[in-house]
Amino acid sequence: MLLTYSAGKKNKMHISIDGEYRFTVDADFWYSLGIYQNTELSEAELAALEEQIGVRRAFNKGMDCLARRAHSKKELVEKISKTSEKKYAIIAVDLLEQRGYADDAAFAEQYYGYLQRVKHFGKRRIAAELARKGIGKDIIASLEQEDESEPVEEIKALLAGKFAAKLGDEKARQRTFNALVRLGYGYSDIREAMRAYETEEIFDEG
């Protein structure tokens, strides 16, 4: 099989096999392969070239994703797989990790802080969200150990802010209790925080 190529727009190279268009790749990558014009390829060599190009495309897609925001490895594989074969996505993400672009530990630390400060999630919900992103149990456990926040104080802050107008009667308090459970706070911490908050409110009113 005869491989030929021609330059396209925006640093692109168009690759043809036996006169029929087959691939488009970026010129820098193409020239790095060292393949000459009018090269004869075997079936095995063409298959190897297809894999290299597939991984390159997947790698570039991963870099585009990371340029927008941090991602976990699982997220990257899922996003890249929308436009590339999954086997190429997996290889590309491994390369991204090897080169320091993808880092589950760094992503998890950043995402943990976001969920805690912005979403006001409790540890249970944060752990569940991190697991959903593909973060390993060891990384989650390490972050939980480093977390020195006080859940009761966090809940009291939510009661004084977000839920301040939702404690008027027993049904409203129960709905608030359930909402706090969904945010990932423990039953005992919620009860303690609600009792403390209501006591403080009484003294403040007095």
Each residue of 111-146: pLDDT tens digit? Answer: 999 999 999 999 999 999 999 999 999 999 999 999
Residue type, 172: A
CA angle 85, 90, 94 (to 5 degrees): 145
**Percentages (nearest 5) of helix, strand, coil residues in the chain:** 65, 10, 25
Per-residue pLDDT of 31-62, as tens digits, reads: 999 999 999 999 999 999 999 999 999 999 99
Tokens of 192: 């303690």
| pLDDT of 11 above 80 | yes
Q: How far is CA 205 from the centre of its chain?
A: 46
* Structure token pair of residue 167: 């404690």
Q: Contact, 31 vs 61, CB < 8 A?
A: no
What is the per-residue pLDDT for 206?
42
Phi and psi dihedrals of 26, rounded to 5? -75, 145
Query: Does 83 score more than 60 pLDDT?
Result: yes
> How far, in Å, are 5, 36, 40, 147 from residue 2 at the CA level?
10, 11, 5, 60
